[in-house]
Structure 1
Amino acid sequence: MGKGGSRAYIGSFTAAGGRGVLTAAVQPDTGALTALDATGEVPDPSYLALSASGETLYAVSETEDGALAAFEVTAGGLRLAGDPVPVGGSGPTHLAPYAGHVLTANYGSGSVTAVPVESGGRLGRRTSVLLHQGRGPHPQRQQGPHAHQVLAAAGGRWAVSVDLGTDSVRVCALDPSGGLKLHHETALRPGSGPRHLAFHPRGHRAYVLNELTPTMTVCRWDPVDGVLETGPETAVLAGAPDGDAYPSEIVVAPDGRFAWTATRGEDVISVLALDGDGDRPTLTATVSCGGRWPRDLALHPSGRFLYAANERSGDVTWFTLDAKTGVPARGGAIEAPAASCVVFD
């Protein structure tokens, strides 16, 4: 298997013509991708995550029933490790390894599920489903909770879930029996529609990308007490309409100097420069995503290359990042129908 970012795994929507999980080789000097093989055993594997060892790849099945799958990463490719496990929620859009479990964010049902990891990376039966409560002011998009992302928080003690429907970020933890318990909930501006969150590498700040308005909210993060405090919002687009822009993903540079966001309605990647404390992002540039409807952004482990999964044009485009300005320069693209996610080993 590859190490240090020599392999990329690309998730997709099989219902829209995707190949399932596509494996690609990464050229270390240019970041270029070369398709190797694909597996379509799991429907709509829209989001992926690797185990800490790199020996198991986890995938949500973003279907009405909702499931979580594990693949063994072998020299010959991906091998499904047991049957997918029902998550007890609909439309899981995101997942994250955490505390000996894999957590899924279930958008349709507005919940987060915990599934234990057993020997060899295989999955057990779910131990907990934490239902979110609440709604927001948007008449179509916020009639109830819609958990869009879940991830292990900086510091490793807590997990956070971002809910577009309730305009909030929840902090939770697992009890000894594998039950998810809500610890703290942070309200964001009503109608902002938070979608995804990324932590500063120092772990003291979190940046929440909002979908219903093209902004990023800067938050203070306390990794000991597990409390998120909201701060100012920064526009991720210049002169764009307040709605219907559909920001999708945010990533932060390993050195904390830049953040990049993708916006689907505008088909662009935005560059935001971060000050020394990470408190005052400044929008400095926008560039084309190289395709249409960039659902995901991914940063190569080297920090030199950025990748956009362009769902509607069916490709993954790679960019070389300028070390001084953070501005991406297009390098090339690989065909990937209905691409939705990119992760690296």
Structure 2
Amino acid sequence: MTGGTAQAAPATRRVFFGAYTTWSGGAKGIGIGTYDTVTGQLKTTGVITGVVNPSFVIESRDGRFLYAVNENTKGEVTAINAATLKVINKQATGGADPCHLTLDPSGKFLITADYSSGSLSVFPVNADGSLGARTQKVQHKGSGPNKERQEGPHAHHIVFDTAGKYAAAVDLGADSVFVYSFTGGKLTQVSQAKVKPGAGPRHIAFHPDGKTAYVANELDSTIVTCAYANGVLTPGQVLKTVPSGSPTNYPAEVLVSADGKNVYLSNRGHDSIAHFSVGGSGLTMLGTTAVGGKYPRHITFDPTGSLLFAANQNSNNVTSFTVDKATGKITSSGTALQTAIPVCALPTRLG
């Protein structure tokens, strides 16, 4: 070595991209890439083929397997080996257009939210990562005043609460969040929280304290702070997610920082990420940051919470941001990865 100090190569981890494959200009499957754990810079490395419209992708608790919805009318969910990047198997959901999925805390069951049919489906997860046939289907009921978007139930999101005891299913068509207990692989409804008629709830995020949750309303561009206890949500404070006078906007994803001090929401139309601080009386909007793309359908943190990624559906790019953990402020990394119709980003826990 001739002078100077050897510099360690920047650490990189894997990231997967959910996308649409049947749309014009669509992807060929689930995108594979890497990101720099310091700067957030993204690179593409390949694609997992054989998966139709994988619009949302998650990983198993141990990182060995991936699971993706197949968002189409016949409705399927696909299991993938994360090491070989090969499809293990698929199962029918029994519903139409599954758009979200989650694993229960044990990792032994998977639940999908089927948008067009307004239903939830439960599947056992086998030791080899494969999915067993559907064991339960739950049908939502309800509608709303928006005749184009709320003619019937539309299950959009399913996630377990902080304690892992109850699962919350957000239904855009029914203007409701249905909460279920989950015991022995079976969903049993325990409550239904209704938001303002026509609000169109899309996604929910629970605060780490387990006492509060935040609902992103797609149709009226609001975020609702809800008190939460024993499987019951009580809607409270309602805030707009964009400045007054902004063009038509449709909120998509909502996130809470690990320390519980900050909430982030992606704005489609305003094409920004809204930043809220968490206080004793609710949320305070601190401002918005341009997302660097169009129609940010999904935002997510990396496993450390130091980076935030945005999948921008209508500009065919994924952008990254660094997160100041002291203030919660996000700053663009200044680079964007071009990829076809990205609607989900999954930075992996295990690399």
- Please give the TM-score of this superposition, normalised by the length of structure 2: 0.91
Identify which of 251, 258, 261 aligns with 1:254.
258
Distance 1:59 1:89 in 2: 15
Q: What code does the residue aligned with 1:18 have?
A: A
Q: Distance between the aligned counterparts of 1:265 and 1:60, measured in 2? A: 25
Cα distance, 1:175 vs structure 2: 4.4
Give the match for residue 275 of structure 2: 271
Check conservation: 2:248, 2:270, Cα contact below 8 A: no
Partner AA of 1:180 in structure 2: L
Whole-Å separation in 1 of the counterparts to 2:32 and 2:210: 31
CA contact (8 A) 1:5 1:301 kept: no
Q: Which of 339, 342, 347 is equivalent to 1:344?
A: 347
CA–CA distance in structure 2, aligned partners of residues 50 and 68 of structure 1: 13
- Please, which of 290, 309, 312 is the counterpart of residue 310 of structure 1? 312
- Cα contact 1:148–1:196 (8 A) shared by 2: yes
Shift of 1:41: 0.8
Which SS does the other structure have where 1:65 is aligned? coil
- Superposition CA RMSD, Å: 1.6
Counting aligned pairs with the same residue, the percent is 35
Letter in structure 2 aligned against 1:71:
I
Q: Confirm or deny that 1:226 pairs with 2:231.
A: yes
Q: Which residue of 2 aligns with 1:293?
A: 295
1:27 and 2:36 matched: yes
Specify whether residues 240 and 302 from structure 1 end up closer, same or farther in structure 2 by C-alpha distance, changes over 3 A only.
farther
Which of residues 126, 133, 148 in structure 2 aligns to 1:125? 133
1:79 aligns with 2:123: no
CA distance 1:240–1:322, shift in 2 (3 Å): farther
Indicate which of 321, 333, 341 corresponds to 2:336: 333
Give me the whole-angstrom Cα distance separating, in 2, the residues matched to 1:248 and 1:28: 25
Which residues of 2 match residues 59-208 of structure 1 at below 5 A? 59-74=68-83, 77-82=84-89, 84-98=90-104, 99=106, 100-176=108-184, 178-208=185-215
Partner of 2:240: 235
Partner AA of 1:182 in structure 2 = Q
Shift, 1:240, TM fit? 4.1
Over 3 Å counting, the alpha-carbon distance change for 1:246 and 1:73 in structure 2 is same
Over 3 Å counting, the alpha-carbon distance change for 1:140 and 1:184 in structure 2 is: same
Unpaired segments ≥5 residues, structure 1: none
Note the alpha carbon deviations across 1:279-317, whole angstroms, 9 max, x for none.
411111112111111110011111111111001111110
CA displacement 1:106-141 (0-9 Å, x = unmatched): 000000110110121110000011000011111211
1:194 deviates by 0.4
Q: 1:5: how far off? A: 8.2
When normalised by structure 1's length, the TM-score is: 0.93
Does residue 282 (structure 1) correspond to residue 290 (structure 2)? The answer is no
